Amino acid sequence: MDRVNSFKFSSSILKKAQEFGADLVGITSVAELKECPSYTAAPKIPQVEVGQRESDLEPGEVDWPAGAKSVIVIAISHPEDEPELDYWYGKHAPPGNQKLVDTVDKLIEWINDNYEEVEAHHIPYHVEKGGIFLKDAAAMAGLGCVGKNNLFVSPEYGPRVRLRALIVDVDLPVTGPTDFDPCADCEKYCLQKCPQGSFSSIIYEAAEIGQEILPGRIGNYSRFKCNEQMEKDIEKAEERNEMVKHEPSGEMVQLLKYCRNCELSCPIGKE
């Protein structure tokens, strides 16, 4: 028995997360997550420079907080008819990201107020800053699966969600994984819609990476091609020079819209 009643704690946290804005919430264990495909593949997969900062962490290495036991992962829906949730406002991160940050912050504040014996940590987004692989966490927490588009896909919202997590130093009952797999019999609209052909050929072999579960499931997702599209999106934003007022800063900023074809083309979670 832990220092807190883990069943009571976990059922309260699942309820609170939804009250504070999460559309989906689940729990997985740190021990299980450490064995997941992204952790074992990342050290063997060349990384793209994604505005990469100086870091002492090796690819796939996580700066787990001391005593880390359970991951609470939340998802916030980013529906097609609310595209602005995903826009970058100059250097300001998308409003949807702010929603995720606020929800996790509120949860941690609630834990601190009600369970002072529990240590809770807000996990950063960037893996090189000690973040975790969020799609693996969401799949392990039973919120859905990792689809052929290499995105986490939920029954409720398809891949049109964004993820974030907090970690606590208490063993909690896990909520997953599930056997949900809508990609099995799908027409693979997502793979055809990528403007860069990021899924057009196998680039990672199971023997080379040392595991069967690969990017895009079968090793056909190229993060380099995908990243090229994002670079083009930045160029397009500069050409368009669409200036808007950012709230709450009040600054006039340039709007940046990244490609979302692999998620918007997915039929799952659409009526």
Query: What is the contact surface with ligand B12 in residues (CB under 6 A)?
Result: 36-38, 41-42, 45, 48, 50, 125-127, 131, 133-136, 139-140, 146, 149-152, 159, 161-163, 213-215, 217, 221, 223, 226-227, 230, 258-260, 262-263
Nearest approach in angstroms of CB 213 to ligand B12 is 5
Q: Whose Cβ is closer to ligand B12: residue 33's or residue 118's?
A: 33
Residue 71 in 3-state DSSP?
A: strand
What are the helix and strand counts (H, E) for the chain? 9, 9
Q: Whose Cβ is closer to ligand B12: residue 12's or residue 258's?
A: 258
Instruction: Give the Cα separation of 271 and 256 in Å (integer).
Output: 28
Nearest approach in angstroms of CB 74 to ligand B12 is 10
Nearest approach in angstroms of CB 46 to ligand B12 is 10
Instruction: For the chain, give percent helix, strand, coil, nearest 5.
Output: 35, 15, 50
Instruction: Give the Cα separation of 92 and 203 in Å (integer).
Output: 34
Question: Which residue blocks in 79-149 are alpha helix, DSSP H?
Answer: 95-114, 134-140
Q: Whose Cβ is closer to ligand B12: residue 9's or residue 97's?
A: 97
Question: Which residue blocks in 20-116 are alpha helix, DSSP H?
Answer: 30-33, 37-41, 95-114
Nearest approach in angstroms of CB 184 to ligand B12 is 13
Nearest approach in angstroms of CB 113 to ligand B12 is 27
Which residues does residue 46 pair with via DSSP β-bridges, in sequence order? none
Instruction: Give the Cα separation of 90 and 88 in Å (integer).
Output: 6
Q: Whose Cβ is closer to ligand B12: residue 9's or residue 65's?
A: 65
Q: Whose Cβ is closer to ligand B12: residue 26's or residue 37's?
A: 37
